[in-house]
Structure 1
């Protein structure tokens, strides 16, 4: 992947190399959920584990998917133990469940937490002794996976890794493999129509930040830039519309596409310090991912502007702004518009917590892609004091 393209209007240097691997087949459109049985049949999947959360089961979304799947002749088991910020323990529990029942495919249904957990479950299920934290035996190829997002946020349907929590060690674990890249990403905007405004905003902010950070990532390449710029362009326009009117079918469709494009971008480029700090906030305070991103986004971008004017300039251009200097204030305004403008204190982080947050963020591999690195823990503590 290309790195450190910092010159304004930089092109692709003669020596720049990047590699693009295969991704999922994308099935997009209202009513696409009806095609799930056909997609699984094409994979010769007859015994399927549906990985989801209890909220979707209570809302009837799981039944709407499982009913037609069972009617097609498939044996279906539902694992709905996934909560926000899924843990290594939940993934290992789900993998053992799939292994014990001899299941041959996984259907991920839900937001990013369910999709991330499903990828870990699909990877570990065929390999007794493999662990979600990377210890134990080396896992073999995982079970085939079909991903059905019900939020427009993480873009987790685009890649084969999941972000899990290891509460005992207070760290994020990246669990995955190329073998569990979803075979099909089924994007049905009708599944997102019932999402409340607060959840629409929180997940939509995640999609927007994926696009913005991908454009300034040290790992960006021409393909990731193209995906990320289009994701930012769509999310900037349509996120406020989707939050204001959750029944607007075009807004829902545009945001689902934006989230997917941003996922394609981050899969190639990696992210940065905004995500590193948000992960730390989730680990130390239990904060939900979207608000955690919102708490640090404008200040981290402002602090990083001079390190990569070209990358931030592309983000500003995609948002319809005059230049990168306008980006921090414009981001703050957008967060206020969708009612997600919060501080780290609002999320439960006290001043005494800042050093621990800084150390956790600096240890997170995602922070390495940031265009500017803190010179010390103290510098990052100072930045957190402004968030």
Structure 2
């Protein structure tokens, strides 16, 4: 066996009522006044209120930024970094999908580097400073951003998606609670599930894979195959929702170590140029790219 490295430093809190442990995690990370990151859709649906309600019950003061766009943007990243500094915040709690968590990663990275424009940190392992305390609470089971070393942020002026890669970008805590994904409609459940499946398949077929990433990827595929149809039919199925959240996380951890491939390379271009939602792009491209790779294997 060749030598390899595998890193997944995120603390994982998973299961029914996992969100109730948020105040303890906030305290353990030394946060006194966190900035809660979310989007307007989750506020409207009452999902964000489930999190802020837990903080209110524990008398934890916080600020809220709820204007994260569907595709995280460089302008918003820099706006959040300014708000964080102006309001005297001391950590982040991000509740949402990949866009919310990636926007938070960008703002946290900017602050870690004393407020520099996040665009200057594009590339691999350019970030050297540690992020402020960062708790990620995903509301979709797709990106795995709660454990990944990647942030994808749109440059709306150039119509491009910029990729940032660093182990410094990995959130410190991931809280997976099925109550936060139960209201996800069937179409979004399906497309985010296909995103997670793509992460697992690309990690498992990567030339950088290793036995640990393979174990995570294979288990993720198994969980998605067994639970995605159920969750699409019955969004309130707690066991299916928990399994998909865990599969998304495991696929994210796998590809953070083994990396993704041609599906994502083309998919990010489609997203940047054509505004195709990421999960739909993965669904469209996965069978064709797998076939392409098989012919050249």
TM-aligned CA distance change 1:225 to 1:126, over 3 Å: closer
TM-aligned CA distance change 1:218 to 1:171, over 3 Å: farther
Distance 1:150 1:280 in 2: 25
**Structure 1 match to 2:255:** 266
Q: Give 1:246 shift.
A: 1.2
Deviations 1:287-343 (A, max 9, x none): 1111111122111111110333xxxxxxxxxxxxxxxxxxxxxxxxxxxxxxxxxxx
Equivalent position to 1:111, from 77, 88, 97? 97
Q: Give 1:141 shift.
A: 2.4
Secondary structure class of the residue paired with 1:133? helix
**Structure 2 match to 1:120:** 106
**Structure 1 match to 2:74:** 88
Q: Which structure is richer in relative contact order (CA contacts within 8 A, separation 6 or more)?
A: 2
Work out whether residues 8 and 147 of structure 2, in 8 Å CA contact, stay in contact via their aligned partners in 1. Answer: no
Work out whether residues 127 and 166 of structure 2, in 8 Å CA contact, stay in contact via their aligned partners in 1. Answer: no
**Structure 1 match to 2:226:** 237
User: Aligned Cα RMSD in Å?
Assistant: 1.8
Residue 90 of structure 2 is aligned to residue 101 of structure 1: no
Equivalent position to 1:30, from 10, 16, 19? 16
**Structure 2 match to 1:155:** 144
**Structure 2 match to 1:134:** 120
- After TM superposition, the runs of 4+ consecutive aligned structure 1 residues lying more than 4 A away are 135-139
TM-aligned CA distance change 1:22 to 1:290, over 3 Å: closer
Deviations 1:187-230 (A, max 9, x none): 11121111100110111110111101111112211111111011
**Structure 2 match to 1:54:** 40
Distance 1:188 1:138 in 2: 30
Distance 2:229 2:94 in 1: 27
Secondary structure class of the residue paired with 2:120? coil
**Structure 2 match to 1:199:** 188
Distance 1:209 1:178 in 2: 21
Q: Give 1:139 shift.
A: 6.9
Q: Which has the larger radius of gyration?
A: 1
Give the number of aligned pairs. 294
Q: Give 1:175 shift.
A: 3.2
Secondary structure class of the residue paired with 1:154? coil
Distance 1:74 1:107 in 2: 12
Work out whether residues 160 and 273 of structure 2, in 8 Å CA contact, stay in contact via their aligned partners in 1. Answer: no
Work out whether residues 135 and 172 of structure 2, in 8 Å CA contact, stay in contact via their aligned partners in 1. Answer: yes
TM-score, normalized by length of structure 2? 0.93
Q: Give 1:265 shift.
A: 0.4
